[in-house]
Structure 1
């Protein structure tokens, strides 16, 4: 977990150098609220500039008013639930665990957060330079490299991938045909020839070498 805070105009002037010295790693700064751009937080520019100058990881948020469950779900990466544990079972990356924290450099109460995803690393693209396609990721998922359930969704999303697309490919692979079936389809010309065949087989999650070996056996 990565420790952080979130601030707004309610905190007024903040000594972000003292905040950083206290061990806080990131700060989420309110940019505004409501549905109008005119409702900008009057301390946003000051907070942002000074937090960056102090060397903190900085994020911004707009306090919105969800009017439906679907609307609210869009913002489910950041959960506020105060206590020693978070009981929310859905997908989230940040847990605001207190609204009455005390942090050097901040006057009065301060919201305290834990981040479970290194968003700074994601934003700075400190992730694999070569992006993997959904088919390749689906194979990795089946091999257990991305965890299960909500953990899988959180990790794929944090890495910048579309969880729904990858999961769809996983579901397709779970219903895929046997090597023998594919080899017979290759013989009938369903998968093309040469490099085209290799590409199509890989995209579908099959091993071209294994398939070709079975093709040779059948011929």
Structure 2
């Protein structure tokens, strides 16, 4: 099992008025707050949503959101989100907005239908600037959702047996529905997060955070970032002060290259651990090489040559500018 990043709870109107200062003092680090659901009167916003989000933030907790869906058609998905999206406006959330896909009524649909509806809801959330994921429990995930088709979305899995029976990857685990936490009367759901979502949320300008400025990037194909010095740092963003750590020696799939220097460096993005990171191309630490693993690489060699020419041109311009200043 992966290392626990943070411990937290999820709440709705059923927890009543929460004393968030006491929750924080008890050691909880995040809260996933229900934004709404549907009852006999239709789609509604949870009456405690605003109080819970603002109270949790004021107490220093990170916050995410979820909504319990009953939508069995595309039109119903849109109808639910037309109600929930305005309720989310104005907040900055450090955790995803999750689609709670678990209701027993969905067993009347095919696995593909349930998967497509879940994806549609998450895609609409993304299109509206929210970092989206989905929640369900082990049996539902195994039997009613094609989780492989949704592998690019964060999964929050529920399993109360002391372990997770679901065999695929997940980012959060709801391990109990009967937790006791200071500041909350009665039971509350207990969760563990294994991922720090905030860097990805900020990098994409999701969840109310401003879109980061940065260099204009050109996409790369069939190229690798080769790290040959232990001094090669990598970053959350194209900012040398936003350091993550040092990259192990080796190669990493390259994603994009800055078209020109930004902040004094030529930048490249690359994949590591399922996420995209940044590093500065420094000739004594790392470089781009062709990925010729079993493919015809004439095209990628040409692209690499073009990229290297851009890097060299940028370096020459910088040298000329420095000489002019000297």
- Which bin holds the TM-score, normalised by the shorter protein? 0.5 to 0.7
Aligned to 1:108, the other structure's residue is in SS state coil
Q: Does 1:198 align with 2:283?
A: no
Structure 1 equivalent of residue 25 of structure 2: 21
Between the aligned partners of 1:200 and 1:105, the Cα distance in structure 2 is: 57
Aligned length: 171
Bigger relative CO (Cα 8 Å, ≥ 6 apart): 1
- Alpha-carbon contact 1:92-1:154 (below 8 Å) kept: no
Q: SS of 1:114's equivalent?
A: strand
**Gaps spanning 5+ residues in structure 2: where?**
71-100, 107-112, 120-133, 136-154, 205-213, 227-249, 254-270, 278-290, 310-326
**How do residues 138-153 of structure 1 correspond to structure 2 at under 5 angstroms?**
139=224, 143=250
Mapping 1:31-180, distance limit 5 Å = 31-34=35-38, 38-65=43-70, 66=101, 67=106, 68-71=113-116, 74=119, 75=134, 77-125=155-203, 135=220, 139=224, 143=250, 155-156=273-274, 159=276, 174-177=293-296
Deviation at 1:69, TM superposition (A): 3.6
Deviations 1:170-189 (A, max 9, x none): xx9543237xxx4xx89xxx
TM-score between both structures, scaled by the size of structure 2? 0.43
Q: Where do 5+ consecutive residues of structure 1 fail to align?
A: 147-152, 161-171, 203-219
1:119 deviates by 1.6
Which structure: larger Rg?
1
The TM-score with structure 1 as length reference comes to: 0.62
Q: Please give the alpha-carbon distance, in whole angstroms, between the structure 2 residues aligned to 1:60 and 1:31.
A: 6
Separation in 2 of the partners of 1:111 and 1:132?
42
Instruction: Determine the structure 1 residue equivalent to 2:84.
Output: none
Aligned to 1:207: none
- Are 2:14 and 1:10 equivalent residues in the alignment? yes
Aligned equivalents of 2:222, 2:21: Cα separation in 1: 41
Query: How far is 1:62 from its partner?
Result: 1.1
Q: Distance in 2 between matches of 1:5 and 1:110?
A: 7
Report how far residue 71 of structure 1 moved.
3.9
